Structure 1
Amino acid sequence: MLKETVFSSEELPTADRFEVFRELIGRTHAPVELTSNFAAAYDAHYRALQLGAIHVWPVTCHPLRFQRTAKLIRQSDPEQFHLALPQSGVHRLAWDDQKAQLNPYELHVCDSSRVFDLHMDTIDGHGYFAGLGIDVPKTLLPVPASRVERLFGQGIPAREGIGALMTQFLLQIVENSASYEPTDGPHLETVLIDLIAAVFARTLDDDSALPPESHQRTLTLRIKAFIQQHLHDPQLTPRGIAAAHHISLSYLHRLFQHEDDTVAGSIRCQRLERARRDLADPAQHAIPIHTIAARWGFPRAADFSRAFHTTYGTPPRDYRHQVYQAQVER
């Protein structure tokens, strides 16, 4: 699995919880002053996943206040951007003479080199805050730091467009971290940097800030997400995908030339895998095979049966029967 640090306050004596958590945040993020009205009996669940030089940390905790002061900046500055994504609760941010409230799934950027005051809070002041933090060294980003600084305090939608794609990628890593090897960390770092850069460039309305290789990798990720969202559509074709992304068909094929499969092959494999999963689901045992096939973009039952047999070595009817029998015998 990926290298990670895990903190669960319930494993510590009540009196020690907040102090240990404060020290941990200072080591994995940047030195900050932490305070909380719940410090006497603090409750927090925190993980810090390492992707190369990037740290991704999901946290669920009592409301908390971060203060990055001028004194702390003079003492230590890791020169990094902190991307914050509240999921349940809000961020109330103050800097210079300005204030902003960032609501659930509004991504925003903090800078370790700037003074700021951040409250991770619940909407009603009760219960728990939940969110994601991403610490990124400034030198890793292809977008100049001077441009990124313009985004300080600005809410970036994380439920639509390229922001949603980055959120889905992060949640996939967080929820399935055990399925990755430590050697996957640098590769995941590269993908995440491209996505962050694309989010910044789009928000700044300056796609020219992205180097060509970052733009190509991000476009490929967007196309893959588009394919997953439209697998049910029997009209999903490479030509239609190219048109939807305003690129030529030949350029689409060039984007996939280093992938494990062609565009058409990727569509076919993903459709078959979704259908295989549904055939193996006991809750869907009564649904006709042709209905499941049509659900995943195979309007002709004969075409589906042939493709399924070729891929999995058995007809879909036999596969469903074998899985069902195995489930009954357990």
Structure 2
Amino acid sequence: MSVVLTTDSVPEQQKVTYWNEVMSRTLVPMTVSPRGTGPFDGWIATHHIGYLQVSTVEADAKFVSRTPALITPSSEALVAVGVQISGTATFAQGGRTTEVGEGDLVVYETGRPYSFDYPRRFTTHVFQLPRRTLTVPDSDIRRIAGNAIHTSGGAGAMPFLFLSALASLAGALPPVIAHRLADDFVDLLSTLITEWTHPSGAQPDSAASALLLRVREHIDRNLGDPDLSPESIARAHGMSVRYLHKLFEGEETTVCRLVQRRRLEECSRELARRGRATPSVSAVAHRWGFSSPAHFSRVFRAAYGVSPREWRALHTARNQPLPVPAGLSTIPSLTTADGRRHPGRSRLESA
């Protein structure tokens, strides 16, 4: 559902006050000062596409300022993208000032002071999203802020076309499609920021590595959750599923295979543990996130070459070797009860 607010029916002497309230309530708290002494008119239409807020603003010449006094510690950290449809603007943030022409994009943070100076009537799209949804480093966002991104070619051309289409569709999308498009927006914006701040192709490896480490730790902490999935992992880290898979491109495995491999490693370790109290195979499988005992037995045999019960018998019998440490890609040959050798090669990555 869209919300459209306009100064059309507001008395002339109250329009500026009304417009200040509308802009501050719809976007973020700001001060709006009209240019000139003539009449002032404006309208703003706002929609939500998943967690993405899309606003289209058309108004007469004005100066917009978000000062430090308007930024409170409790304010949610947002990243905004302005798309200049008509007219021009002078944008300033972080000590940099840039001229924004028709078709240009500008990325900025609402948690830091900024200003827009529109010398004549204009139209712009404003996209706002939570900062936590972007996985690019803060340093990259601050490097791109205060710079206009031209759309005549390169990194800005596709985002402009996509954002223009997205703004026109806002308010008419089913929820499932809306969330997917919001994820697409995040991916595209992340790519835009990375390409602009690292034109040589050098990637912020340290940030990606730190994020990948957090994802792996999250997986280890939640192995017992049967609902652990790429979707839940991405949601817990404020990223899209597409970006999550991209993180694993250089890991020689996928998210799903990593989850299954770690679950199997913990199950094999527990099944091989000697002791008086030995939980059932199904109990072990359930504890480590396998909801179906039949599925667990099937993937366990595919990975280790023996059934879970055979694995337990081989490792808990007297004079049998201790379980192989988790993480090894192969398992030493095992001796069966009748003295034959069993290869026991791991096929975790093919499961």
TM-score bin (small chain):
0.5 to 0.7
Aligned match of 1:192: 185
1:183 to partner: Cα distance? 4.4
Aligned match of 1:102: 100
Give the Cα separation in 1 of the matches to 2:51 and 2:37.
31
Aligned match of 1:298: none
Aligned match of 1:4: 2
Residue 77 to residue 158, structure 1, CA distance change in 2 (3 Å):
farther
Aligned match of 2:62: 64
More helix by share: 1
Q: Which amino acid aligns with 2:58?
A: T
Whether contact under 8 Å (1:86, 1:130) holds in the other structure is yes
1:35 maps to which of 33, 36, 40: 33
1:24 to partner: Cα distance? 1.9
Aligned match of 1:314: none
Q: Which amino acid aligns with 1:208?
A: Q
Give the Cα separation in 2 of the matches to 1:147 and 1:60.
30
Instruction: Point out where structure 2 has 5 or more consecutive residues left out of the alignment.
Output: 213-240, 247-351
1:208 maps to which of 203, 221, 244: 203
2:143 maps to which of 131, 143, 150: 150
Q: Give the TM-score, by structure 1 length.
A: 0.57
Greater shift, 170-179 or 195-204, is seen at 170-179
Instruction: Point out where structure 1 has 5 or more consecutive residues left out of the alignment.
Output: 123-127, 218-330
1:170 to partner: Cα distance? 1.8
Aligned residues: 210
1:95 to partner: Cα distance? 4.2
Aligned match of 2:282: none
Does 1:133 pair with 2:131?
no
CA deviations on 1:132-188 (whole Å, 9 max, x unpaired) are: 111121111121222211111112122423422222222212223354234432222
1:97 to partner: Cα distance? 5.0
Greater shift, 139-148 or 14-23, is seen at 14-23
**In angstroms, what is the RMSD of aligned CA positions?**
2.7
Residue 42 of structure 1 aligns to a residue whose secondary structure is coil
CA deviations on 1:19-78 (whole Å, 9 max, x unpaired) are: 222212112221111111257632112111212222111211101211111111236533
Greater shift, 52-61 or 69-78, is seen at 69-78
Aligned match of 2:323: none
Whether contact under 8 Å (1:93, 1:153) holds in the other structure is yes
Give the Cα separation in 2 of the matches to 1:121 and 1:140.
33
Residue 114 of structure 1 aligns to a residue whose secondary structure is coil
Aligned match of 1:20: 18
Give the Cα separation in 2 of the matches to 1:28 and 1:189.
19
Residue 27 to residue 94, structure 1, CA distance change in 2 (3 Å):
same
Residue 64 to residue 215, structure 1, CA distance change in 2 (3 Å):
farther
1:167 maps to which of 160, 163, 188: 160
Aligned match of 2:118: 120
Whether contact under 8 Å (2:86, 2:122) holds in the other structure is yes
Aligned match of 2:77: 79
Residue 180 of structure 1 aligns to a residue whose secondary structure is coil
Whether contact under 8 Å (2:48, 2:170) holds in the other structure is no
Whether contact under 8 Å (2:100, 2:148) holds in the other structure is yes
Residue 15 to residue 40, structure 1, CA distance change in 2 (3 Å):
farther
Residue 146 of structure 1 aligns to a residue whose secondary structure is helix
Residue 72 of structure 2 aligns to a residue whose secondary structure is helix
Amino-acid identity (%): 19
Residue 175 of structure 1 aligns to a residue whose secondary structure is helix
Whether contact under 8 Å (1:42, 1:62) holds in the other structure is yes
Aligned match of 2:298: none
Residue 10 of structure 1 aligns to a residue whose secondary structure is coil
Residue 121 to residue 185, structure 1, CA distance change in 2 (3 Å):
farther
Whether contact under 8 Å (2:81, 2:108) holds in the other structure is yes
Give the Cα separation in 2 of the matches to 1:106 and 1:119.
15
2:49 maps to which of 48, 51, 62: 51
Q: Which amino acid aligns with 2:64?
A: F
Give the Cα separation in 2 of the matches to 1:120 and 1:178.
27
Greater shift, 205-214 or 17-26, is seen at 205-214
Whether contact under 8 Å (2:91, 2:98) holds in the other structure is yes
Whether contact under 8 Å (1:108, 1:154) holds in the other structure is yes
Give the Cα separation in 2 of the matches to 1:179 and 1:54.
14
Whether contact under 8 Å (1:162, 1:195) holds in the other structure is no
